[in-house]
Every structure is written in structure tokens, then in C-alpha cells.
Amino acid sequence: MVAMNTFTVTAERGTSGVWVLECTELGVVSQTSRLDRAEDEVVEALAYQFGLAPSEFDVEVVPMLPG
């Protein structure tokens, strides 16, 4: 069994109301209007950017809430 990479993605609400998604370890940024769609959006961005199948990696979305 091959270990799957898991990438951490932060989700922070931008000034225009969209969620800005950033995977700093890979230098990939995306956005979504709804937080519940963040994982799908960033999986698509990473797969496209690096020519991977979505089944080849996992992502963990970490919302950054104002505190």
C-alpha cells in the first residue's frame, strides 16, 4: 500500500466575501464562494496544477476564523 500525501489548505474570508484557499506547501491559491465547497475547489486546482488524479492525494481544509 502506498502512503497518500495530505496537503493542508487554509481558508480565509476575503474582503469581497469569497473564501481564499491557500496551500502554502505547494504555492497554490484558489477561491470559492462557499466554505462547504472548499475541498472540491482545491482538489481540482491541485490536480490541474500538478497533473494528478484527485484520488492520488488528500487535502485538509483549515478555516481561519476571525478571533
Task: Give the pLDDT confidence score for residue 2 in this predicted structure.
Answer: 59
Domain ranges, residue 16: 5-63
Residue 1 has pLDDT above 60, yes or no: no
Query: What pLDDT digit, counting tens, does each position of 22-47 carry?
Result: 999 999 999 999 999 999 999 999 99
**CATH code at position 18:** 3.30.160
DSSP labels, 14-63:
-TTSPEEEEETTTTEEEEESSGGGHHHHHHHHHHHHHT--GGGEEEEEEE
Tell me the pTM.
0.87
What total number of domains does the chain contain? 1
Residue 56 has pLDDT above 70, yes or no: yes
